[in-house]
Amino acid sequence: MKVLTPVKKDKGQKYLAVDEQWLSTAVSRVRQPIETLFGWIEEKTSIEFAGKVRSYQWLMVHVFERIAAAMFFWNKLRVSHYSHLIMNT
C-alpha cells in the first residue's frame, strides 16, 4: 500500500508542476470528505477523550460506543427532519 500526500512547494517556489498540482488536487478531493466525517464524529461524540483507557479491549468498547452514539444522533436527526416534512404537507 502506498500513501499519497499532497505535494508542497519548496521554499521560494512559486508554482507546482502540472502533474504535482493534479496529484495534490486528487488527494485533497479524497481526503476532504473523510476528514469531514471524522470531524463530525469527533464533534458529536468527543471520542478523543479515550486517553485514559488502559487496554485495547476497553479502547475498542469506547470507540464503538461513541460511533454508535453518533449514528444514533444522525438517525434521530434524519427522522426528525423527515417527520417535520411530512407534518407540513
Q: What digits encode the pLDDT tens for the residues 43-59?
A: 776 666 666 667 777 77
What range does the domain containing 52 cover?
46-89
How many structural domains are present in the chain? 2
Model pLDDT, residue 74: 75
Domain shared by 34 and 68, yes or no: no
Domain shared by 5 and 40, yes or no: yes
d(C-alpha 23, C-alpha 13), whole Å? 17
Low-confidence ranges of the chain (pLDDT < 50): none
Model pLDDT, residue 53: 63
Give the 3-state secondary structure percentages of the chain, helix then strand then coil, rounded to 5: 65, 0, 35
Domain shared by 41 and 66, yes or no: no
pTM: 0.47
Model pLDDT, residue 66: 81
Domain shared by 50 and 17, yes or no: no
